Every structure is written in structure tokens, then in C-alpha cells.
Structure 1
């Protein structure tokens, strides 16, 4: 298996910023989503629904630490936090990962949340 989130050290652009016993907060340089990163379990879990109770708790703790780090480094005015699950849900890497995305008031899409594009009439079944 060659999962990029199981072996984050193999991606020279990716940096492990924070970690605990069960998960990591990783970042790559992003030209648009400044400061964004992922919280991933250390063990391969395909989706968020596969996390153990310990991994859930560790994810929560690391999310709080990531917010503190991002607030200090980037001073965002808001956040989007979320999971993509399954191909139809937009998951591209099948290792559970929580997106942590700082948001800024001067963005063209400021004020648009994670459901914005999903609830457009063009997405109606």
C-alpha cells in the first residue's frame, strides 16, 4: 500500500506541524487555502466512521491545538472544518482526514460555508 497519509514523511512538501499519540496535523504549501491542513489518524482508517474512540478524542484535542497554532500564525476570521467520505462525497485519498481551513474576510468567497456549492439548484437530483 502506498498511502500518502500513512507515510507523510515521503512527501517532501508536506510538514508534520503537530502530533499526538493517535494523529497528526499536516500542512503543505497552499497558494489559495493559506494555512490549511489535515488532521489524520496515524493508523490507516479509510473514513471518519472507522476511527476508534481514542482516535476521535485525539482528533478533537489536535483540532484545538491546530486552531491555536493557526490563530497565532495566520489570524483568520473564521474556519471551515470537515471530512469528505467516499468517492461521491469527494474523498480522493482513502485515509480518513479532517480538513482544517482558515478563512479570511478578504477572500472572494468569504461568508460561503462548506455547504454553499452543494445547496445550489444546479446540484438538485
Structure 2
């Protein structure tokens, strides 16, 4: 399998530098759902070099700030699925940065714990929602501009 994070599509790649890429999630849980991934293919957190770990945190902050400037979310879920048992589907380390808005789901309480508690996430149960959550070209351009401005 070719790694979609090592060779991202032009439409999904919003930002990259020598260490990190910021991508649009292909199955977004919300509008603007981003992935922060190391440019180097690594599958596990412990495989990262120290400079990559520092860069990941900085780029998570940069992703959040760009989303604040372009989409004005009320909050964020930020997290990783480490290993297949934890729900990881692409074997390349990545951090989800999911913007959230008041009222975007019926029961936000529990946040990322819903997966562990085996509770249905009403934002991810239908393909139509993934389609609705995808950003249009104009929004992608604005998000790219915001990320580049934060360099």
C-alpha cells in the first residue's frame, strides 16, 4: 500500500516544511479536520527524533491558529490513534486536529473518550456527513494562506 501521508494528493496537502506536513483529513469529523504528520515515514511515536517531536507540537499549534483565523471554531479535539487496536487506519503516525463548534453534535461530552467507551459518534456515522464536512477550494486556499502566514 502506498502511504497517503508520504505521497499526499495536491488537494489534501495544505502545508509542509522539512519535518512536518499538514493535511486535510479524507474522512473529516468536522469542517477543517486536519492531520499533522511527520514528513518522514514513521509508524510509532517512539520512532520520532527529538526535533520532529518539537516540530509536531509547534505545527499542531499552527494548525489550531490557522483554523481559528479561517473557520472560528469554539474548541478542538486533538489526539492520536496509536495502533490498529486504537483505531489507526493509516500506519503513519499522525495527530488529528478537529475543530469543534457549540452544537455541532448532540452529545459532545466525552470527546475523544467516545471511542474507548464504544459510544456512537453521530458525526461519523454516514458518508454524507464526511462529504458535508469537506472544505471547498476557496476554504482550502484560505487555510493554506493562514498556515503560510504563521511560518
* TM-score, reference length from structure 1: 0.83
- Structure 2: 5+ residue stretches without partners: 120-151
RMSD between superposed Cα atoms in Å = 2.1
Q: State the shift of 1:86 in Å.
A: 1.0
Asked if residue 21 in structure 1 is aligned to residue 18 in structure 2, the reply is yes
Aligned to 2:51: 54
Deviations 1:66-123 (A, max 9, x none): 11100011111110111111110111000001000001102123344101342369xx
C-alpha contact 1:20 1:62 (8 A) present in aligned 2: no
Deviations 1:7-58 (A, max 9, x none): 11xx3541x2222320011115666511001001011001222211111011
Instruction: State the match for 1:110 in structure 2.
Output: 108
TM-score where L is the length of structure 2? 0.70
**Does the alignment pair 1:97 with 2:94?**
yes
In the alignment, structure 1 segments of 5+ residues that lack a partner are none
Q: Quick check: which one's strand share is greater?
A: 1
Task: Judge conservation of contact 1:25–1:39 (CA < 8 Å) in 2.
Answer: yes
Superposed structure 1 runs of 4+ greater than 6 Å apart: none
Bigger relative CO (Cα 8 Å, ≥ 6 apart):
2
Check the 8 A contact 2:25/2:35 in 1, yes or no.
no
CA distance 1:60–1:31, change in 2 (3 Å) = closer
Residue in structure 2 matched with residue 6 of structure 1 by the alignment: 6
Q: How many Å separate the matches in 1 of 2:26 and 2:40?
A: 24
Flag the structure with higher helix content: 2
C-alpha distance in 1, partners of 2:28/2:45? 27
Task: Check conservation: 1:24, 1:39, Cα contact below 8 A.
Answer: yes
